[in-house]
């Protein structure tokens, strides 16, 4: 499970607001958060930038990093 939802809530933005910032539909953000859609690398980078973090933190498994 990725950590998009966790970082989004930490940043205090709604799915709709985040979707507007990265230029996708709200449903896409919801699907990403629920691991039902694999976003492109370009979208992953945009999400990481908007949430003020990096790709590893957002999408890499926690066990693999440790």
Partner 1 sequence: MRYFFSIRGVLDERNRREINRIATNAFMFLWLYTAIANIAFIFLPQTKLPKSAFIGFAFLNLVIGWYGVSVYVSHGISKLKLNYQEVSVDDYPRAVRKAWQHGAWVGVVSGIVVYVMVANISGFISWTAIGLSLLIVLINWTMDAQREIGHIVKVK
Q: Where does residue 37 fall: left (phi above 0), alpha (psi -120 to 50 degrees), or beta otherwise?
A: beta
d(CA 42, CA 7): 18
How far apart are CB 43 and partner 1 at their closest, in Å? 6
How far apart are CB 66 and partner 1 at their closest, in Å? 31
Count CA within 13 A, CB hemisphere, residue 8.
Answer: 20
| Closer residue to partner 1 in complex, CB, 42/63 | 42
| Closer residue to partner 1 in complex, CB, 42/66 | 42
| Closer residue to partner 1 in complex, CB, 24/57 | 24
């Amino acid at each position: 499970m990725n950590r998009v939802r966790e970082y989004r809530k930490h940043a205090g933005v709604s799915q709709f607001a985040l979707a507007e910032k990265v230029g996708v539909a709200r449903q896409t953000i919801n699907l990403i958060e629920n691991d039902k859609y694999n976003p492109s690398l370009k979208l992953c980078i945009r999400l990481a930038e908007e949430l003020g973090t990096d790709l590893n933190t957002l999408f890499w498994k926690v066990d693999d990093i440790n």
